Amino acid sequence: MKIYPGILFVLVSIISCRTNRDIEHKPVITVSILPQKYLLEQIVDDRYKINVMIPPGVSPATYDPTPGQLKQLSKSLAYLRIGHIGFENTWMEKIASINKSMLLFDLSSGIEYINNDHHHAKNEDDYCNIDPHIWISPKEVKIICFNIYVALKILDPTDSLFYEQNYHNFIAVLDSIDREINKSLSVLKRRKFFIYHPALTYFARDYQLEQVSIENEGKAPSPVHMKRLINLAKEENIRTIFIQEQFDIENAQILAKEIEGNILRINPLDENLHDQILYISNQLQKALVSDTIE
């Protein structure tokens, strides 16, 4: 059948309009960071429009939402917070007041937070000092996904079987990732690595690694702390420094020069969380193997 250009244009326009209208009429769920969007999509598929508050390339510790973003919250059925990032600690009360009918869910429910002193958070003071990056370890992600599934059953009980199936399918994927990481990291003799900001606390704990933070209590390293790091690097033959893409690399460059090492950037806020976790694991494995070479 021959389709004339004019008719083709009309058909494409109709399809485009329907697609845009379908997106506009989807119920909205709001999340804080891009990794949450990825996890939510694994369970809801395309049944919801997912609104992300923190855009790429900025720090969740310091980001302030725009007036337009706050206005968009009025359309949201629910807000799924990731836990205790700075953005949520500062803005959650305001966010809740904008749309009082919006249901609030904490995806960190059931997770044992670890503070920067490597102790489990038990009180309010501890939560001010925790590592919030719970989404980097597959073991913690399984808990996050369970909380997503529970939230969806409340929001849309009629489709709970659909969400349950997707949830179990994705848990199988996470189990596969966990096995792959265990296989590659469990055989390493060296377990210690440098990182500028302690963003891999849960990953390190779950795979028996030890991260050493260049930051000292959230601040740039003092000369005394820098000297300790240099000495430790020489003792342990550490040559790789990991740093998040959102951080200035100046202090990391100073240390890298002193230890004749290199800097490797990671992005815990990458939307494609699956690939980022595997990338981090592969780079750790390479660094810890190469650092053993005398």
147 and 211 share one domain? no
The residue segments making up the domain with residue 246 are: 182-290
**pLDDT tens-place values along the chain, 294 residues long:** 454 555 545 444 544 444 444 556 899 999 999 999 999 999 999 999 999 999 998 889 889 999 999 988 999 999 999 999 999 999 999 999 999 999 999 999 999 999 866 544 444 444 557 899 999 999 999 999 999 999 999 999 999 999 999 999 999 999 999 999 999 999 999 999 999 999 999 999 999 999 999 987 778 889 999 999 999 999 999 999 999 998 888 889 999 999 999 999 999 999 999 999 999 999 999 999 875 444
d(CA 286, CA 282): 6
Secondary structure class of 118 (helix, strand, coil) = coil
> What's the pLDDT score for residue 218?
75
Q: Are residues 119 and 190 in the same domain?
A: no
* Cβ proximity of 59 and 82 under 8 Å: no
φ and ψ of 84, to 5 deg: -135, 40
Q: Do 249 and 126 belong together in one domain? A: no
What CATH number does residue 209 fall under? Answer: 3.40.50.1980
DSSP 3-state assignment of 74? helix
* Cα–Cα distance, 287 to 290 (Å, whole number): 5
Residue 285, domain member (yes or no): yes
Q: Where are the alpha helices (DSSP H) in the chain?
A: 5-24, 34-44, 67-72, 86-98, 124-127, 138-155, 160-185, 201-206, 223-236, 250-258, 273-290
Q: What is the pLDDT of residue 139?
A: 96
User: Does the residue 193 lie in any domain?
Assistant: yes
DSSP 3-state of 57: coil
pTM score, whole prediction: 0.86
Contact 149, 156 (CB under 8 A): no
Determine, yes or no, domain membership for 170.
Answer: no
AA letter at 245: E
Last residue of a domain, which of 123, 158, 193? 158
Whether 209 and 97 map to the same domain: the answer is no
Q: Are 133 and 203 in a shared domain? A: no
Query: In degrees, to the nearest 5, what angle opens at C-alpha 60 toward C-alphas 55 and 62?
Result: 110
